[in-house]
């Protein structure tokens, strides 16, 4: 290799190193912020989770007090319990089926405006929350700030419930009740699609 070619190769290599994209990570808090945002994005990144969590809020709004706040309180706590089981490696069979079934049954409950006793509705929501939490627990990435990740995860779940409750406030009008039933039907249809995919 001639001297001229070596110079060209050296300059090209230097230019490549200079323009190589890389995160600066100049501030110590960078990793933690990523932990919160990653946790926050996790529940809203899967439509199957989103449908079920919004449906919990819709059903709570339909049932009124005290279910309107009891169901969205039950879901995150039991979901976190499921997440803990997932983190500990405790196996849970049929997770995907459970998640799809949660969308179907919760959507159907909204569509048919089912009004079971409060304990029964909380138990149903709690039962399905375990599947959602376990799925998230087994997928948690390594190297993140555990606390900020967990907080982001739970807050996002709560926001999805709040979204459902917000939409559910239309229940006070006759047209709103119909709209909610249609929305419940859409959630149930989405659940059927996810169940189909789980079997396929």
Partner 1 sequence: MKDSTTARLPLCAIAVLAVAMWPAPAAAHLNSTGMGPIYDGLMHFATSPEDLVPALALALLAGLRGASHGRRALFVLPGAWLLGGLLGLTASAANGSSVVSSLWFVLLGGLLAADAKLSLRVLTALAACFGFYHGYLNGAGMGPAGSAAAALLGLDFAVFALVALAAALVVRLRAAWARIAVRVAGSWIAASGLLLLGWAARGG
Are 41 and 139 in contact, with CB atoms under 8 Å apart? Answer: no
d(CA 12, CA 120): 69
Using rule CB under 8 A, residue 69 touches partner 1: yes
Using rule CB under 8 A, residue 172 touches partner 1: no
d(CA 52, CA 58): 10
Using rule CB under 8 A, residue 77 touches partner 1: yes
Cβ proximity to partner 1: between 87 and 108 the closer is 87
d(CA 168, CA 63): 10
47 sits in which H/E element: helix 47-63
For partner 1, which residue of 27, 93, 119, 175 counts as binding (CB under 8 A)? Answer: 27
For partner 1, which residue of 88, 119, 174, 200 counts as binding (CB under 8 A)? Answer: 88
Residue 152 token pair: 């982001």
Please state the closest distance from residue 178 (CB atom) to partner 1, in A: 26
Closest CA to 82 of 127, 122, 44, 48: 127
For partner 1, which residue of 44, 73, 123, 179 counts as binding (CB under 8 A)? Answer: 73
CA dihedral 177, 179, 114, 196 (to 10 degrees): 180
Stretch that binds partner 1, among 44-52, 53-61, 137-145, 177-185 (CB under 8 A): 137-145
Using rule CB under 8 A, residue 137 touches partner 1: yes
* Contacts to partner 1 by CB under 8 A: 27-29, 69, 72-73, 76-77, 79-81, 83-89, 137, 140, 142, 146-151, 153-155, 157-158
């Amino acid at each position: 290799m001639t001297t001229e070619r070596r110079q060209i190769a050296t300059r090209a290599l230097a230019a490549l190193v200079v323009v190589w994209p890389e995160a600066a990570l100049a501030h110590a808090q960078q990793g933690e912020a990523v932990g919160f945002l990653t946790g926050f994005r996790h529940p809203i990144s899967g439509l199957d989770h989103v449908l079920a969590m919004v449906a919990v809020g819709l059903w709570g709004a339909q049932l009124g007090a005290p279910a309107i706040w009891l169901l969205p309180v039950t879901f995150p706590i039991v979901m976190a319990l499921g997440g803990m089981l997932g983190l500990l490696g405790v196996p849970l069979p049929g997770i995907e089926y459970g998640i799809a079934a949660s969308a179907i049954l919760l959507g159907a409950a909204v569509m048919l405006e089912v009004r079971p006793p409060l304990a029964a509705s909380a138990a149903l929501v709690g039962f399905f929350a375990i599947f959602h939490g376990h799925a998230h627990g087994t997928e948690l990435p390594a190297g993140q700030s555990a606390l900020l990740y967990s907080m982001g995860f739970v807050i996002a779940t709560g926001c999805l419930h709040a979204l459902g409750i917000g939409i559910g406030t239309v229940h006070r009008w006759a047209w709103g009740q119909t709209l909610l039933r249609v929305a419940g039907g859409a959630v149930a249809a989405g659940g059927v699609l996810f169940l189909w995919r789980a079997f396929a």
